[in-house]
Structure 1
Amino acid sequence: MGRLISLALLLMAQAAVAKPAPDQLMDAPVLREASAYRFSTLELESADGARHYRIWLGQPPAVSDASPVAYLLDGNAAMAALDSQGLNQLAQSASPPVLVAVGYATPLRIERNARTFDYTPRVGSAVEQRDPLTAVPSGGADVFLDLLSGNIRPQVNQRLGITPQRQLLWGHSYGGLLVLHALLTRPQAFDDYAAASPSLWWNQGVVSAESQALAQRLNGSRPRLLLMRGDLEPASPASVSPSKEASDTAFKTLVGSLQQVHGLQVRQQTFAGLGHGPMLPASLRYTLQMLSQGSHARQSGSPSSSSVQ
């Protein structure tokens, strides 16, 4: 009986890792508390009208072409992960970043169906593609990236009145999968790519295969990639052991292959003691700290969840 209870608890924990709570409401104190950042919103729809986006634009006290701009996927969850103290510290840094949290017009912290479609690449030629984990429609990554580059970004730049010299794309889990897909297929789209806990297991690791043609796609560009992972994360939602005990071969293989691509700067960062869920706020804080220092490739030890405030 004890073994059955343990197995049930383990399966429940796996489900929590794989599927964010569908009814968890978004709570973003930074939208009601005073800080050095000023937030405004922008709303628009997908071309087919099926997905409704809400973008939070966070501006530090001074903005110029030299200000780095960070595009944050899962914008509702990203906004909930920010805090006023951290924003005040960012505002006083060497290069305070503009924040563009790309979320959905919903009271929920995670819009599972919309993000599943937007953050997963197209596989094969089937008319309808379903997500292997949730069975909801998937495969809209390129449609979303077109919207991000061709619609959302021009509106953001117009509102800011700048032409940014440095732009970063951050995402966690399925968002990390999209960050990698964007880098591997559109390496000129951003200057920096920050993928936290990317779902490399998705569709039998299809995104890793995209790295084979990256060297040709760079075409003189020199993007930077920051790969982040907690050392207590499972290799996939089906894994029963954390990566500290069961090595995630796919992650290490991808890092190794990307480090061989001339022109791509790759940095791997491991977060001690963190599982999949806590990696979202920890990786976001760490990424923004690195960006605000005008740095990407600075070497340091593996941070804990409190390394970046």
Structure 2
Amino acid sequence: MGRWISLVLLLITPLAVARPAPDQLMDAPVLRQASAYSFSSLELDSADGARHYRIWLGQPSTVSDATPVAYLLDGNAAMAALDSQSLDRLAHSVAPPVLVAVGYATPLRIERTARTFDYTPKVGSATQQRDPLTAVPSGGADVFLDLLTGTVRPLINQRLGITPQRQLLWGHSYGGLLVLHALLTRPQAFDDYAAASPSLWWNQGLITAEAHGLAQRLRGSQPRLLLMRGDQEPASPGAVSPAKEASDTAFKALLGTLHRVDGLHVRHLTFTGLGHGPMLPASLRYTLQMLSQGR
């Protein structure tokens, strides 16, 4: 059973209820305002030169191997969802996390073409794959995860001068789809996986099928999954009404499958009154709050 999260528990900045325009510019006040976190950035390109990444590194005042590190997908939007007050609260928590917002070198809040390729799994053996919603190239999830774990993470650890003992991957929507793909195909890559509003509808529910064989892939690891959604979200982009828990078969099927996997710790949260768009900032802030409390 999911736990219902009241908006009053968020106690952070108000959440927008409208879906952002596709060409909305990134606005991240935390990069201009003083807070208890210090930010730096680095840039790199994909191996084929087609995608260009900008990564923001947010550090609390003290960092050690015991400091949790949170990798945040859709880094431009994640940075825009943060505020100085919440960062100050994080900095004074039990375990202030390092923030690694993995975004794109663009002035936009969301780089839709690049993220569609990076956050979607490959289907079958076709050389070229198109996204069922936007028709842009898709299927680069494993290439992106190789970059994230094999290139980005060593650069971050080198810059921090630590070997983190706890690392989390957070993502929303297509980012949530990627978080689940990472968990189901390479469960040792991170200690914690936080999937918000994952696109379970994508390619006829392909992600649920990836759960088969997960118990064998764990190989003694015990990852934790935080699965989040709003009760006002549709089951798919084409649906017109919110997906109520009793009728959201894809979500229930995934939960049922994952709860049967020995060694996997699953927590499911439903946010009252939130639709798809507002779930991005709400889920991010909740995830960081829980991580900073050592949970």
Range class of TM-score, shorter chain: over 0.9
Corresponding residue of 1:71: 71
Deviates more, 1:58-67 or 1:247-256: 247-256
1:143 and 2:178 are equivalent in the alignment? no
Q: Which whole-Å CA distance do the structure 2 matches of 1:250 and 1:52 have between them?
A: 33
For residue 136 of structure 1, give the secondary structure of its aligned residue in structure 2: coil
Corresponding residue of 1:194: 194
RMSD over aligned Cα, in angstroms? 1.0
Corresponding residue of 2:156: 156
1:21: how far off?
2.6
1:223 and 2:219 are equivalent in the alignment? no
1:246: how far off?
7.2
1:126: how far off?
1.0
Q: 1:163 to 1:234 in 2, by over 3 A?
A: same
Aligned length: 278
Corresponding residue of 1:259: 259
Q: Which whole-Å CA distance do the structure 1 matches of 2:58 and 2:245 have between them?
A: 40
Q: Which whole-Å CA distance do the structure 2 matches of 1:60 and 1:252 have between them?
A: 38
Unaligned runs of 5+ in 1: 1-15, 296-309
1:50: how far off?
0.2
The one-letter amino acid of 1:197's match is S
The one-letter amino acid of 2:170's match is W
Of all paired residues, the percent bearing the same amino acid is 83
Corresponding residue of 2:282: 282
Corresponding residue of 2:168: 168
Provide Cα deviations, 1:99-134, integer angstroms capped at 9, x if missing partner: 000000000000000000000000011111000000
Deviates more, 1:237-246 or 1:227-236: 237-246
Corresponding residue of 1:122: 122
Q: 1:245 to 1:101 in 2, by over 3 A?
A: closer
Give TM-score, length-normalised by structure 1.
Answer: 0.89
Corresponding residue of 1:181: 181
Corresponding residue of 1:25: 25
Unaligned runs of 5+ in 2: 1-17
1:43 and 2:49 are equivalent in the alignment? no
Q: 1:240 to 1:246 in 2, by over 3 A?
A: farther
Q: Which whole-Å CA distance do the structure 2 matches of 1:81 and 1:208 have between them?
A: 29
Structure having the higher Rg: 1
The one-letter amino acid of 2:200's match is L
1:22: how far off?
2.3
Corresponding residue of 1:250: 250
Corresponding residue of 1:306: none
For residue 256 of structure 1, give the secondary structure of its aligned residue in structure 2: helix
The one-letter amino acid of 1:143's match is V
Q: Which whole-Å CA distance do the structure 2 matches of 1:252 and 1:228 have between them?
A: 13
Provide Cα deviations, 1:197-229, integer angstroms capped at 9, x if missing partner: 000000000011000110010000000000000
The one-letter amino acid of 1:247's match is S
Corresponding residue of 2:110: 110
Provide Cα deviations, 1:120-169, integer angstroms capped at 9, x if missing partner: 00001111100000000000000000000000000000000000000000
The one-letter amino acid of 2:76's match is N
1:244: how far off?
2.9
The one-letter amino acid of 1:41's match is S
Q: Which whole-Å CA distance do the structure 1 matches of 2:50 and 2:285 have between them?
A: 31
Runs of 4 or more above 3 Å deviation: none
Higher RCO structure (Cα 8 Å, ≥6 apart):
2
Corresponding residue of 1:62: 62
The one-letter amino acid of 1:115's match is R
CA contact (8 A) 1:235 1:247 kept: no
1:245: how far off?
8.0
Q: Which whole-Å CA distance do the structure 2 matches of 1:253 and 1:232 have between them?
A: 19
The one-letter amino acid of 1:63's match is V
Q: Which whole-Å CA distance do the structure 2 matches of 1:118 and 1:247 have between them?
A: 30
